Amino acid sequence: MRLVKNLDVAAGLVNSETGTVVNLIYDNADCEALLAGKNPPRYCIVVSFAGFRGFLTKGGHRIYPLPNQPHWVPIYRQKFTALRSDLPSWIIKKQKMKYCFRIQFPLDLCRAMTCHRAQGQTLSHCTVSVDIGLSNPDSHLAQDIMSILYVACTRVPRLCDLFVSPIYPRLWLEKISKQAADLERLKVDEKLRQEAGKFASKKGMYEQMVEELAWTPDDSNTGNEWNDLEDGKTAPRVTETKNIAVCEEDWMANSSSGKFTMCTFFLVTGLHRLTPG
């Protein structure tokens, strides 16, 4: 899933931050409707965000809603108000603006992501496949194509987690790298390289920096790897993830009133009778 708005920038819950749904929690009042086969709205959706850093308090401390699972965050429904400019005139004539809103979870599906949406994210838990449709010599080039490529190819900390679809050589040699903005960027990159060398020398890490900058990619077997992927002989690399095991301790939550357990069972009658759902 992907966040569609900034919830808490200091905590890492920013627009386009991605996570995995852990569980759906319903309100106790909706248990009878659930048992009757109806589909009432969820009370909250618990999402595991790898970039979640905890909510920052005024005292400078960070707190976690579920301390035993520090990356789990309950996401609640929020009010989204429509802009007047986004509404057709016939709605504005019949409805007051204060009633033009919807209540929904600030999430949407994220099976894929545009390069612009991925800006600022570090995707260290997956393989990133970059496909910007430049395999044909007649492909249209965006005005800021180099910036798009840079953002797309720098989202992963390791090159083994990056897969880039083919780019036609003539597009790269004659168009992409010859734009005025790209030539200016190369000058800035060279200046940054020189300043980085001075900084590394002061810190006693100049040799390490030179070694990293001297690295060259190995594309000797790219053709065979591409064919194997197309034929299904080789699957994209998948990083092993820890299986999520739900237990009572994982659902111990913090609040201003103390600790409590977020119930994951249906309450049928009374306050103490639990029936597994």
pLDDT digits (tens, 9 = 90+) for 200-216: 999 898 888 888 777 77
**Residue 48 confidence class, pLDDT cut points 50, 70, 90:** very high
Rounded to whole angstroms, the Cα distance separating 265 from 105 reads 22
Range list of H helices, 9-80: 31-35
pLDDT for 75 beyond 90: yes
Q: Could you tell me the two tokens for 143?
A: 């005005």
pLDDT for 274 beyond 60: no
Residue 94 main-chain phi, psi, to 5 deg: -100, -15
Place of tokens 């996401």: 75
> Which one, of 274, 262, 265, 246, lies nearest residue 74 by Cα?
262
pLDDT for 242 beyond 60: no
| Rounded average pLDDT over 44-73 | 88
- Report, in angstroms and rounded to the nearest whole number, the Rg of the chain calculated over CA atoms: 25
| Rounded average pLDDT over 187-200 | 88
Q: Is the pTM of this model over 0.85?
A: no
Residue 81 main-chain phi, psi, to 5 deg: -95, 135
Beta carbons within 10 angstroms of residue 146's beta carbon: 18
Rounded to whole angstroms, the Cα distance separating 178 from 23 reads 50
